[in-house]
Amino acid sequence: MSKSVSTHELAEFELNHAADYYESREPGLGPTFIRTVQQAVHQLTQYPESAPIVRANVRRKVLTRFPYNIIYTVDSDTIRILAIAPQRRRPLYWRGRK
């Protein structure tokens, strides 16, 4: 059974900001980035505990093709996306998010 997904508003901002950046670099790359994230989130709904724990109950799913991670938590029925985090940004900047 797959879990529902909720997204922190700052993670939504990060997703859109990164997509805008990639689109400005190469037309069509922004939607490709969004699709890559959507596919990864879909995988998480099917296998929520497949990514390694990075801190307490927070997990990190590494994206393919793009240098980003999906930072998330899992509870009994929901996956909470905390950040769409660039791999080069300072680690754990998202710590205060719930």
pLDDT at 12: 97
**Tokens in use for 12?**
């939504």
Any idea what the CATH number is for the domain that residue 45 is in?
A: 3.30.2310.20
pLDDT at 3: 82
Q: Give the residue numbers spanning the domain of 18.
A: 4-86
Based on the structure, what is the number of domains in the chain? 1
| Residue 93 in domain | no
| Residue 21 in domain | yes
pLDDT at 1: 63
| Residue 38 in domain | yes
How many Å apart are CA 35 and CA 87, to the nearest integer? 18
User: Residue-wise pLDDT tens for the chain (98 aa)?
Assistant: 678 999 999 999 999 999 999 999 999 999 999 999 999 999 999 999 999 999 899 999 999 999 999 999 999 889 999 999 999 878 778 888 88
**Backbone Cα Rg of the chain:** 13
**How many residues in the chain?**
98
β 78-86/4-7 pair status: parallel
